[in-house]
Amino acid sequence: MQFPIRQTLTIMITSTSQNTHETDTANNVSCTTISTILTLAIPTFGQLIAEPAFVLIDTAIVGHVGGQALAGLSVGSTIVLTVVGLCVFLAYSTTSQVGRLLGAGKRREGLEAGVDGLWLAGIIGEVVSVMLFAIARPLCMAMGAQGGILHNAVDYVRAVVFGIPGMLLVYAANGIFRGLQKVRITLVAAVAGAVLNTILDLLFIIGFGWGVFGSGVATLISQWFMAVVLIVPAVLWTRAEDARLKPRLSGVLSSAGDGAVLFVRTLALRACLVANVVLATHMGMQVLAAYQVVNSSWNFVLNMLDAIGIAGQTLVAAQIGARHERETMRLTRIAGRSGLCGGVAIGIGLMIAGWCASPLFSQSIEIQHLITVGMMVVGVTLPLAGWMWAVDGILIGAGDYRYLALTCTATAAIYVPCLAVIGWICDAMQASSALRMALLWLAVNLLFVGLRAIFNGFRIGTSTWLHIAH
């Protein structure tokens, strides 16, 4: 039986109209999701850049004091950023806990989990500060610092170290705000902290002549200022929901349990970053000074990409809490594409900065050239990092901590020996400083980032990670 021509055309038109409507609806949903991701990512970036921004500002000002001061800052800031970075689980685990509980309709329990994270941050911060102050000099020596570089590195660490509790409290407070999807306040705190840090840097370093020690004091004050700005509203919102402010032993231990696994993950990653500094130190003062500038810039832009991952983490945690698996997978795909596109755009900007902005960080022509080389390598490879960081945030939001700890440990086990080989090859070839700089940053972006991208890509292609939190 055949349809009349008019009826056939009617059916075709109707079908086409429905398909067009469905496509438009899907596109609108995707655009809305991207808009939501950006709404969360942009303020989150403000919080993430706090510590790297402080170091970047310090680097720009200290760079005009002298090469030894800049190299000392490189060693000292690496130690501080490593210690603080090891505690980033305070933000990640709190975000995931609060987000999943809110997704399940348990708002008060979510806020209490956030408060437990604050108490844990305060305890860890106090213990770490005292220990780091006591062993600052041996740590700097272990990083390869000697003479004037060692003196400057120790001065920086001992000046900034008691600001660490403040920064860890900021991490935990931001975990609460991310889980609540109220992240604008994090941008306010970060901007205010960066402005204050810049003013104090100019006052202490240039005005008082305190050098690297002055930059550490400026960072210390700024960290506690940010902590106050964030903790006060966090406490007020918690009280408004009749949630408990007293620590719950079970809650603190639960946060510590999640944190222990994430700590292993972060420890492995930080071991890789410390190995970078050790190799840069081995390559000479000029390479180390240039590495500090490129590394500060790299950390800064990576936080733009990490903000996309954390936005995805926040949304995915809520969807997993509500057991919406299909929506979770859709968000994952969109977050990955957003990270990739962000990496392309930011990478182009970083390469332009490498050509134009290097004189801002050093008066040495050789160091300026090395900065440009490093920026070029990082800029070209940044799209890979953008995708990887987005997917990494998704897996954290899902609570897939054990897999991340395992794969990051495997990454470190492969990467650190490869760095040693690169150092040996450079010495055997008597490679130029420019070649050493290029090989170092190629290793960072193709091995350190690339291996994690492979592991995360494999995991996200399965459905196992969707059920970890249940």
Measured between alpha carbons, how far is 304 from 39 in angstroms, rounded to an integer?
Answer: 13
More confident residue, 20 or 185: 185
Task: Compute the average pLDDT of residues 347-364.
Answer: 85
Residue 2's pLDDT is: 46
Specify whether the CB–CB gap between 172 and 89 falls below 8 A.
no
Measured between alpha carbons, how far is 421 from 30 in angstroms, rounded to an integer?
Answer: 45
Q: Is the pLDDT reported for residue 424 higher than 90? A: yes
Q: Is the pLDDT reported for residue 418 higher than 90? A: yes
**Helix boundaries (H) for 241-284:** 249-282
257: three-class secondary structure by DSSP? helix
Residue 9's pLDDT is: 40
Task: Compute the average pLDDT of residues 262-276.
Answer: 85
Beta-carbon contacts of 71 under 8 Å, excluding residues fewer than 6 positions away, are 145, 149, 152, 285, 288, 289, 292
- Rounded to 5 degrees, φ, ψ at 65 are -80, -40
Task: Compute the average pLDDT of residues 256-263.
Answer: 69
Angle at 22 between CA 19 and CA 24, to 5 degrees: 110
Measured between alpha carbons, how far is 115 from 109 in angstroms, rounded to an integer?
Answer: 10
Residue 134's pLDDT is: 92
User: Binning pLDDT at 50, 70 and 90, where does residue 251 land?
Assistant: low
Neighbours of 248 (CB within 10 A): 15
Q: How far apart are the first and last CA of the chain?
A: 54
Specify whether the CB–CB gap between 193 and 175 falls below 8 A.
no
Residue range 129-154, pLDDT digits in tens: 999 999 999 989 987 888 888 988 89
Q: Is the pLDDT reported for residue 341 higher than 80? A: yes
More confident residue, 254 or 385: 385
Residue 380's pLDDT is: 93
Task: Compute the average pLDDT of residues 233-261.
Answer: 71
Lowest-pLDDT range of 55-64, 131-140, 416-425: 55-64
Lowest-pLDDT range of 257-266, 283-292, 426-435: 257-266
Residue 22's pLDDT is: 44
Residue 116's pLDDT is: 79
Q: How far does Cα 25 stand from its chain's mean position? A: 34
Residue range 141-195, pLDDT digits in tens: 987 888 888 988 899 999 999 899 998 888 888 777 777 777 778 788 888 888 8
Specify whether the CB–CB gap between 351 and 376 falls below 8 A.
yes
Specify whether the CB–CB gap between 414 and 447 falls below 8 A.
yes
Residue range 357-380, pLDDT digits in tens: 888 877 788 888 999 999 999 999
Lowest-pLDDT range of 11-15, 241-245, 430-434: 11-15
Range with the largest mean pLDDT of 40-49, 96-105, 113-122: 113-122
Please spell the DSSP secondary structure of 151-164, one letter per residue. HHHHHHHHHHGGGH
Residue 266's pLDDT is: 80
Instruction: Tokens 């800029």: give the residue.
Output: 379
Residue 8's pLDDT is: 43
Q: Is the pLDDT reported for residue 443 higher than 90? A: yes
Q: What is the DSSP letter of 205?
A: I
Residue 33's pLDDT is: 64
In Å, what is the CA distance from 324 to each residue of 74, 387, 394? 45, 23, 14
Specify whether the CB–CB gap between 201 and 58 falls below 8 A.
yes
User: Binning pLDDT at 50, 70 and 90, where does residue 46 land?
Assistant: low
Pair of tokens at residue 113: 């989990």
Residue 170's pLDDT is: 86
Q: Is the pLDDT reported for residue 325 higher than 90? A: no
Beta-carbon contacts of 398 under 8 Å, excluding residues fewer than 6 positions away, are 96, 316, 317, 320, 328, 465, 466, 468, 469
Measured between alpha carbons, how far is 91 from 18 in angstroms, rounded to an integer?
Answer: 44
Range with the largest mean pLDDT of 22-26, 63-67, 137-141, 465-469: 137-141
Task: Compute the average pLDDT of residues 65-77.
Answer: 81
% of the chain surpassing 90 pLDDT: 24
Q: Is the pLDDT reported for residue 15 higher than 80? A: no
Range with the largest mean pLDDT of 50-54, 59-63, 347-351: 347-351
Average pLDDT of the chain to the nearest whole number: 81
User: Binning pLDDT at 50, 70 and 90, where does residue 124 land?
Assistant: confident
